[in-house]
Amino acid sequence: MKLRPMTVLHLKRMWDRVEIKIALCVILVLIALSFVELCLHFYGFERDALPSAAYGWIGNMDVMQIVAIHIWFYLLFFILSASVYADSIEADRKRQTAILLATRTSMADYVRSSACVTFIGGFAVVFVPLLLSQLLSLLIFPLNSPEFGFQALMNEGSHLDDILVNLIAHNVLFPDLYFNHPYVLNLIYMLYASLIGGLVSVITLGISLFRSFHRPVLVGLPMVIVLTVSFILPRRLQMQFYFFPEATLEGLSYGYFFGLPVVLALAAAFLLWYPVQTRRDILL
């Protein structure tokens, strides 16, 4: 079996797993709770005083003071992304189906197809809910804020004090998009967070090629590492603060923003390549 049919087979297996349904349910519940929180913040406001949907988005969680989505981003993000399919080879080993699948193709194609589907799953369970949350905001909040409406940082045309504008422009990444094209910026952050979720899921899959783990330990390992590192590194070097428009934290780096996916992709590629190249017995 070639790479493409094997990938299709893995996609079908991923969708049939209960893990993807649980991950989506948990994330959608947190999205719904976050959206309710957001709406309650503006209960009783006149429409002219509301922020635009670009600013009144749950992804703008720090400024909007939304608690529920913090639980996802800071505690469950990598666990839910990895649970979709990152433990698939480990599960195949436990069920003794890995050898059967590998005999229908090459070892390299089995690993590559598993990695492709793992990335797709980790990406999709982040991107789809975030996109849905932006569409929900478009149903409730105006497309653009009135000139003298809610003093929103992302509202095009909002009246902002010059000092505040300079402060935001100094802190935020992509300040032109932040002020003038906020929907484009939101989409960039959705794609970025989804990309990181997918890459870390592939790294989790790669780790499982080196030794056998209990599946909960394997799926939870990346989040444990990220939380541990969070107590060591300053906030400006913690990846979670690059998943959403952050205007209050000083020192965010373009180098970190663009370099993180590259480093994660290289790490994932090595973890997948080395066991196959050295002919490690990854199926038992």
CA distances from 211 to 89, 214, 264, 278, 284 (A): 11, 10, 20, 14, 10
**Which position has the higher pLDDT, 96 or 129?**
129
**Cβ within 8 Å of residue 253, ≥6 positions away:** 236, 237
Residue that the structure tokens 């499982």 belong to: 208
CA distance 252 to 42: 29
Q: Quick check: 221 and 204 in contact, CB under 8 A?
A: yes
CA distance 190 to 216: 27
Which pLDDT tens digit goes with each residue over 8-64? 888 898 898 998 999 999 999 999 999 888 888 888 777 777 788 888 888 887 777
**Which position has the higher pLDDT, 28 or 146?**
28
Q: In this predicted structure, what is the pLDDT of residue 130?
A: 92
| pLDDT surpassing 90 at residue 2 | no
- For residue 107, the tally of other CB atoms under 10 A from its CB is 16
Average confidence score pLDDT of the chain: 82
CA distances from 194 to 23, 61, 151, 201, 251 (A): 14, 17, 29, 11, 23
Output the six-digit token pair for 109: 């194609």
Q: In this predicted structure, what is the pLDDT of residue 282?
A: 65
Output the six-digit token pair for 40: 């309650």
Amino acid at 152: A
Percent of the chain with pLDDT over 70: 85
CA distance 176 to 144: 16
Q: In this predicted structure, what is the pLDDT of residue 42?
A: 80
Read off the pTM. Answer: 0.87
